[in-house]
Structure 1
């Protein structure tokens, strides 16, 4: 074949391509994808930040190709509302990744199942047995007891002049709260190293679940698992499931021998009784994977938020002083913060909201387009089976939504017009729509109580040799955005005196 023939064939292919492109549905704008790999190289080490930068070029709704996967990236509250509320029915499921397939987790996980009958059953069980207002009020004494143990540990560090690892302390408190809620057991003690393995497992789960994985974009690579993510997921999930299996076996033995006295009032007891009834079909495997979902989510979000909030307050002493004055004015000098006090503490609430805005526990929300029909949003076509990525981190740093977006300013929330319950789409750390996090109410109570207790009862200083401007603010990317370097601070006897009001 001569050169002219090659040129003619090339021109024919080029013309056909552009004809088809001009007659194809209008996709959102985005960077041009490379052959085969698409836009994978655009992600970098911190995909939430890379995608936020791209949104400044291509707009609040973008189209990218990750391998063969059409991906729609949303970076504005208005379009997030369109997808998560108005068209929620069209996005009923989360993406099934290679990591979520470890131990068959995707088949039974409430976080992974499509919004069908089994998903609704598991959500209903969670709400009725763990997250209803009645259940949360009934377990108030448990949370109070765990906070008292935390404060006792902080007091010991204070007396000894010892720097405290805020992350480790928050993790142990959250861990023991969730382990008691699920199993009536403490899983760890402070400053003993007993929590280290579990902390590594939980953070490992969040990391492998959130890490970009080539296998998810090129399924043919699944046999090779080139990044080792599936193997790591199998390891971390297996560790937790083995722990749960041992606890369940022991509980079932006690139930068979009538040794559970007094009666355990925890989620495991409720799940075992439900599994023996006729109302729901709940297998041992279903129970294990539901416990895994709740265990990981229940420890990670609270730990991350409390550590970031303390980091920002210690880096901004004037904000810490203002928060302490509010607590002393409202609570008093010799009283402990109770759950019913949270509604009386607007500045504390504003600090938590600002922490969720500036350091969201999870950088984005993932959904999958269902069915074969295309959907039009904002005058663009969303292809069927597209991956939807709502960049919560980008929305929280959008200057058109938040003035002084790169400053930590709790005052922006003092009007009280914005909440975190999925109604205000500029601040949705727990998601929105049908798939909003079922544990929102418990996390809300624990985050406020833990932070309030730490700053109300003690003054704080950074560990020796660390200046305010040297506090490390680096994020460690994963399904959650934990602080890369753990915050360590020294608790001190409280010196500030109460005032009558907060200005």
Structure 2
């Protein structure tokens, strides 16, 4: 299984030996795999209450708009030359620009932020999938033998170096702002690192241990929304009817009104893309502690890790008609809820440990897709009939092959 896509192999195994809850022995470790709908605390509170609140997400609107405008300008230039673009790379660039600008501020957007995203990409590749070192933890020599230990240490040092530099610069900038009476609400713009440093300095009581620099570093490791943009565009290109309907809605609504809230069909398209391609196909494993637990009619033994296969849940044919088909209209009479309250649809997990940055990420995804659909028609490169949807497993579920398309400028007064 280490060479395969784990979420697919686990779904296949659950079909034979589950399907709801399956016990699995991988090397020395016992796992429980949950593949159906039935079946830290400080980080969560910080993200929910401070970093990704509705007010905070809205405060980054200008950052999102500027980054997407730059993307549109680049695509317009490519359209003038009738050249193909690597939309995978461009989506990654725009989401990285938004995320790092919101997290680190404009002063460090180009250099430190770029270095940071390289580190994040390397960590994502390194931690994706199951490895032999995960299955035999008692064989302590394996990480060194396989080279994993050296790679992890290298990535740890690289991430610490970049983040230490960013945090130190923020501290210096905050000191300068205080001594020069710089206006925090004017020329001095707070970003996510500033928010965390504020909380650390005040030692705000959030019902958890004090905020340390390690926590500050950990929270700044934000995954981008590029993969969702890439999968959604790929699905629409392969489904011309959906692409046409989404474009018609955007060009009727978005061009005349600045509100994204009216793009109901685009919401359904994004939801369907997330159903088929959840950013994290397998939730991070959780280990049962010092006593066995009853889960419905199943018994979870002590020291057993539990894996929730979100990818399989979102494609369960018992709950989704034509589960493997890309059909946004299925959400017409289905409430689109990313909060994990409906366990048939949990692209971001559920409960206290679901992704706290959903609103931040979805704001990026929707604005970017609306602009891609509004400003351009899209054509496949010569000789290509469809988009290859082969998956590549990592910390996020990415496409195996980059998305190359030819943008064609849409002749209409551009939206301002």
- Matching residue of 2:401: 485
Tell me if the contact between 2:272 and 2:328 (Cα under 8 Å) persists in the aligned partners.
yes
C-alpha distance in structure 2 between counterparts of 1:245 and 1:327, whole Å: 42
1:328 is aligned to 2:251: yes
- Matching residue of 2:150: 231
Instruction: Kindly name which structure, 1 or 2, has the bigger radius of gyration based on alpha carbons.
Output: 1
The answer for unaligned runs of 5 or more in structure 1 is 1-41, 80-112, 114-118, 498-503
Structure 1 residue matching 2:138: 3-state secondary structure:
helix
- Matching residue of 1:274: 199
Deviation of 1:195 (Å): 9.0
Give the TM-score normalised by the residue count of structure 2. 0.89
Give the TM-score normalised by the residue count of structure 1. 0.74
C-alpha distance in structure 1 between counterparts of 2:344 and 2:44, whole Å: 25
Tell me if the contact between 1:361 and 1:481 (Cα under 8 Å) persists in the aligned partners.
yes
Aligned-residue RMSD, C-alpha: 2.5
**1:21-61: per-residue Cα shift (whole Å, max 9, x none)?**
xxxxxxxxxxxxxxxxxxxxx55411111111111111221
Tell me if the contact between 1:175 and 1:187 (Cα under 8 Å) persists in the aligned partners.
no
Structure 1 residue matching 2:302: 3-state secondary structure:
coil
Structure 2 residue matching 1:56: 3-state secondary structure:
helix
Matches within 5 A, 1:116-127: 119-120=41-42, 122-127=43-48
Select the structure with the greater relative contact order (CA < 8 A; seq sep ≥ 6). Answer: 2
Deviation of 1:398 (Å): 2.0
Given the superposition, is the C-alpha separation of residues 51 and 463 from structure 1 closer, same or farther in structure 2, using an over 3 Å criterion?
Answer: same
- Matching residue of 1:253: 172
- Matching residue of 1:61: 21
Tell me if the contact between 1:371 and 1:385 (Cα under 8 Å) persists in the aligned partners.
yes
Structure 2 residue matching 1:272: 3-state secondary structure:
helix
C-alpha distance in structure 1 between counterparts of 2:108 and 2:129, whole Å: 27
Deviation of 1:426 (Å): 1.3
Matches within 5 A, 1:219-368: 219-225=137-143, 226-257=145-176, 258=179, 261=182, 262-279=187-204, 281-292=210-221, 294=222, 297=223, 299=224, 302-332=225-255, 335=256, 338=258, 340-342=259-261, 344-368=262-286
**1:275-301: per-residue Cα shift (whole Å, max 9, x none)?**
222435223333222222x3xx2x1xx
Given the superposition, is the C-alpha separation of residues 388 and 278 from structure 1 closer, same or farther in structure 2, using an over 3 Å criterion?
Answer: closer
The answer for unaligned runs of 5 or more in structure 2 is none
Matches within 5 A, 1:424-443: 424-443=342-361
Tell me if the contact between 1:418 and 1:424 (Cα under 8 Å) persists in the aligned partners.
no
**1:153-205: per-residue Cα shift (whole Å, max 9, x none)?**
1111111222111111111111111111111137777xxx9998765533321
- Matching residue of 1:417: 335
Aligned length: 401
Q: Which runs of 4+ in 1 moved over 6 A?
A: 186-189, 193-197
